[in-house]
Structure 1
Amino acid sequence: MGSQVKFDCKNETCLIDEDILVRVNENYGILGWRASNYTAYWGKTYNEGRSSRLGTIHSKEKILRMTPISQVLVSGTIPRTFDARLKWPNIISKPKDQGWCGASWVFSTVSVVSDRFAIMTNGKDQTFLSPQQLLSCSRNQRGCKGGQLTRAWTFIRKYGLVSESCYPWTSSISECKIRRLKNQLTAQCPTYISDITSGKLHRVGPVYRIAGELGIMHEILYSGPVQGIILNDFS
């Protein structure tokens, strides 16, 4: 760790614990991987990471109101291994850094939508959509302090999202810079943020839910990325 300050992680859990790093890496031969220190997390507590690196607010009632999709699946039709990067090479988007903003509800939704557009168009539309627009313009959410997935999907269905290049990510909540219009095909980009003058609005159809491991695997195999929520872990 060089000359970095060592934090006391006994009284308050740290995101990066030097002692754990050492113990993990001592067992590299058994585990087959090494743990690393990520500078952005150094000196941050677990509670800071939980509030600023997560952010999805669960609503069991709203999730269960989503249209359920039932599938009749035959055991053995799902391969033992699957890598989306191999099935859809150069199409699946790379992980994005949300910064110290509790916007996992934004990034997971936008990533799924962007990847599915790319898959449906066979790579012709590989637009990564704007997390900032969803963060700043989706009403009745908590911005960097959290948000609900159902409301995020409803916003995209009604108003659509422009590209990230049109409305770039700033890692903070700010006033919405794009008008919410239901019937528009394009929207004016914030001129002081982007050099692009306008962007195409991407919308989605009704959201649905799938239960069961086989059903989820089948969905990923044939349709692309999904969002996962543990329904029995609500407070």
Structure 2
Amino acid sequence: MKYLLLLCTVGHLVWTKPNSECSNPLVETINSKNTTWKAGVNFPGETPAEFAKKRLGLLGNHQDPNFHPEKKVHPVGRKTVIPPSFDARDQWLECRDVIDNIRDQGNCVSCWAFAAAEVMSDRLCILSKAELKFEFSPQDLLSCCPHCGYGCGGGYAFAAWIYWQERGIVSGGDYNTNTGCKPYEGLAYLNNTTPTCKTYCTNTNYTIAYDNDRRIGASYFSMSENIQQIQYEIMTNGPIQASYKVYEDFTTYKEGVYQYTYGAELGGHAVKIIGWGSENDVPYWLVANSWGSDWANLKGYFKIKRGSNECGIEANVIGGIPLYDSDPTTDPVTDSPDGTGSAMKAMSSALVLLLNGFIFFILYQ
């Protein structure tokens, strides 16, 4: 089964290494156009080709026409109030530290795993009213999801969410954080190499066993290319995952509202949208990147033009609802709260795991 694949290779780009922003012809070209954003050098000493190879998750449009995930539709009408600006960090202050956590995929082009894990973490915190500040592990997805793609070679966006719902994902922070069950490994962060799947907690200081740490999703879905639908979903349930096409000029983004200005298409990238607003009368989406908080001038965030499907960002939106039960005696993997409609609720843990394995096998044949 084929899904939207976020690949991680780049074509052969020929550039000269910039000594300064003034000597970078791409930066000069973009800024000379007086567009809605400013360009600059984000990683001095690296050519744009090196930058792209290490940081961008490129998009291959491999979609199965027979695969139609549920498309969520909200009852949005003329009386629905959509504010002119919105920021999930301000809306859910109790979860601000989770939502505002800009992560760093390093040299592994694993944007597909990071964007999914970030959105899952945010939504679980919001749903639990900050009772569960559980940091889902991109490492667990990257290494252990057999049908998510090629690890550091790229991944399928929807497959990550299916894996979350069927198998569950453990906790884990960024590289060198010692946070959660499976923090991001140096092999991926430093060497762009997919580590082998480990079904145990690699953080020896973490006290919860791997199988007990896994948490699953109740549902996943796509969104239509409708601005109000996307906004309403963010307002209601929290940040969403989106994929968009990446062009050469995006590697130089510093500030302002990005829109395609100059350069060839490199592929695509998966990110997290947390809100929206307007700058100088230009509407934008507020987006969290996974290149670290020192990227660009907005502490790891960027703004991209809203309302015109800029670079395809409004056509590739994914969300999901975590499985959450406020009763601490229940198992997050095998128990289901009232209202989810899950058949697992009445099953023993052994039968649930068997059923999940069977469904997972069928889905990917």
What TM bracket, shorter-length normalisation?
A: 0.7 to 0.9
Q: Tell me which residue corresponds to 1:95.
A: 102
Separation in 2 of the partners of 1:130 and 1:62? 30
Structure 1: tracts of 5 or more residues without a match = 1-9, 179-187
The answer (yes or no) to whether the contact 2:181–2:201 under 8 Å persists in 1 is yes
Listed one character per residue, the Cα deviations across residues 6-47 of structure 1 (whole Å, up to 9, x for unaligned) are xxxx951769961269969x99xx999987754xx2222323
Query: How well do the aligned residues superpose, as a CA RMSD in angstroms?
Result: 3.4
How much does 1:133 deviate? 0.8
The change in CA–CA distance for 1:15 and 1:94 in structure 2 (over 3 A counts) is farther
Separation in 2 of the partners of 1:155 and 1:104? 16
Q: Tell me which residue corresponds to 2:68.
A: 65
* Structure 1 outlier segments of 4+, above 4 Å: 13-17, 20-24, 30-38, 230-234
Partner SS, residue 229 of structure 1: strand
The answer (yes or no) to whether the contact 2:94–2:129 under 8 Å persists in 1 is no
Residue type at the aligned position of 1:196: Y
The change in CA–CA distance for 1:32 and 1:214 in structure 2 (over 3 A counts) is closer
The answer (yes or no) to whether the contact 1:59–1:148 under 8 Å persists in 2 is no
Partner SS, residue 242 of structure 2: coil
Structure 2: tracts of 5 or more residues without a match = 1-12, 173-179, 245-308, 316-365
Q: Tell me which residue corresponds to 1:150.
A: 158
**Counterparts of 1:67-82 in structure 2 under 5 Å?**
67-75=70-78, 77-82=81-86
**Larger strand fraction of residues:** 2
Separation in 2 of the partners of 1:189 and 1:110? 17
Separation in 2 of the partners of 1:63 and 1:113? 26
**Counterparts of 1:167-186 in structure 2 under 5 Å?**
167-170=182-185, 171=189, 172-178=193-199
In the alignment, which of 233, 244, 247 is matched to residue 219 of structure 1? 233
Q: Tell me which residue corresponds to 1:85.
A: 89
Between the aligned residues of both structures, percent identity stands at 28
The answer (yes or no) to whether the contact 2:110–2:155 under 8 Å persists in 1 is yes
Residue type at the aligned position of 1:177: K
Q: Tell me which residue corresponds to 1:189.
A: 201
How much does 1:229 deviate? 3.3
Separation in 1 of the partners of 2:217 and 2:166? 8
Separation in 2 of the partners of 1:131 and 1:15? 33
How many residue pairs get aligned? The number is 209
| TM-score between both structures, scaled by the size of structure 1 | 0.75
Partner SS, residue 207 of structure 1: strand
Q: Tell me which residue corresponds to 1:135.
A: 142
**Counterparts of 1:9-48 in structure 2 under 5 Å?**
11-12=14-15, 18-19=21-22, 38=42, 41-48=43-50
